[in-house]
Structure 1
Amino acid sequence: MSRVRGLLLACHPLPTLAVTVMAAFLAAAVGLPVGTVLLVVGAVLTGQLSIGWHNDLLDAERDSSAQRTDKPMATGGVDRRTLQVATAAASVATIGLSVLLGFPAGGAALVIVVCGWGYNLGLRATALSFVPYVIAFGVLPAVPTLALPGAPWPFWWAMTAGAALGVAAHLLNVLPDLDDDLRNGIRGLPHRIGVRGSMAATMLLVLVAAAALLFGPAGPVSWWRWAAFGVLVVAGVWVLARSAAAPGRALFRVLAASAALDVLLLAVSGTTIVRG
């Protein structure tokens, strides 16, 4: 059980769960059959597991030297061999499930995994660290829609919202490790623009995603979408005002909650994201 717990913690559980749940909501909302929904969920989940475990494998020595108590390999919660086997198994599983999902939906699912591995293998230490997130999260809404008959792409606004949320997730994910990363020579986009810049950029990206989800779809905008957008604008003004003076945990929580609200807006967009 301790090994299983170590594997669960090493897969970066919150991002893995968030991405998988979003894919599940979208797959169900666009009207895919249950079997296809399960294939989408399986391909996305195993892909995220492989990315998370691969990341911890590469960071094992650094995490141990930094005495990271939140990293299972650094605390002995899981050994390298177990993590290597799990990474390989997840990678094989996501390839197999993507093949069963068929082209082009399965290909889109694999693009997300390639982006994650590319980030792990070096892009995270460059000014282009945001690029894998733009591509992967921009493509994510396309995985369920491309599995529909005729393989339609999502509308531009759904992919734009996904890409903006992806970069926001990148900035938020790196913030807690910013100083440790800098000590180890990692200088991605968040490290170059700093804590305040990252927080401000995250909020702006959340607002971009919200605007795309609000004004992109054709037809009248429901009152609750306007209400959600209003909440995000108020949160954005507060974050932008405070991030210049005293960034801290409260700001981080507001940013995370704002991004989660955008994810919810995207997830409930349903069949409106499908381009005929």
Structure 2
Amino acid sequence: MYEWTTGGYDVAVREQIRGWLAEDVGSGDVTTETTIPKESRSKAVIHVKESGYIAGLPIAKLVFEVVDPSLVFEAKVQDGDKVDKGTIIAVVEGSTHSLLIGERLALNLMQRLSGIATKTRSFVDALEGLPVRLVDTRKTTPGHRMLEKYAVRVGGGANHRFGLYDAVMIKDNHIKGAGGITAAVEASRRIIPHTMKIEVETESLQQVDEAIACGADIIMLDNMTASMMKEAVAQIKARAPHVIVEASGGVSLETVHAIASCGVDVISVGGLTYSFQALDISLDLNAKKGGGPS
């Protein structure tokens, strides 16, 4: 179970929902308006068509609230719950027009977020018992980062930096542009506040050595072989045990355990938010009382 903590995000998400609804509805839902009486009222059940981990129920509730505040949304499970095929995860009652207007957006968001949570959980399970943190990256869908990073947390993972503004992350192109790792770190250190950390991406043991020497707070081992990674970790822990070691690049469900076994502290996986299978979730109107979807 994972509870949605707004932290002031509801306002921002509601604004996004209004924009997404405007994109979908435009001047009106012509199909619903021309086929269903305006006074029609219905009960809808939202159910899963395959097993997985649920994420996005509070977001779906917000969608229906924005469409029509009189709609009554009742979650039957909670974000973070594992559900089996056929499970009813929510019931929504009210205007049929409003239900159908909000249906697709609510489902799209829940399907994607549940897919991310389910994939994240598979990685977390593969790392069970190992002292390593699984994190996401900035490889998110534009406009959906807040929600996708939330889904990663629901799945048991953690978040890397949220954007370009909350940590210094010196990558290969920064190193080239600055004239080397040392030059990049020193230039950044002169400007950033003392509360901000500096991470350096390395691709060789020589770069690891330089990153240690110039005082990087976090050293990323990017696309290294297992043997090189083990040597890099040993070097960092011996010379700078306070430094956080992150592994990234080419991480899959098949390789993540071996990577973690090299002794890294953090493993970042971009695929959590850009390469996942959306969970199949459906909404059906007028379900029979006490039964499954009609």
With the length of structure 2 as denominator, give the TM-score of the two structures.
0.24
Structure in which a larger fraction of residues adopt strand: 2
Query: Rg bigger for which structure?
Result: 2
Structure with more helix by fraction? 1
- TM-score of the pair, normalised by structure 1: 0.25
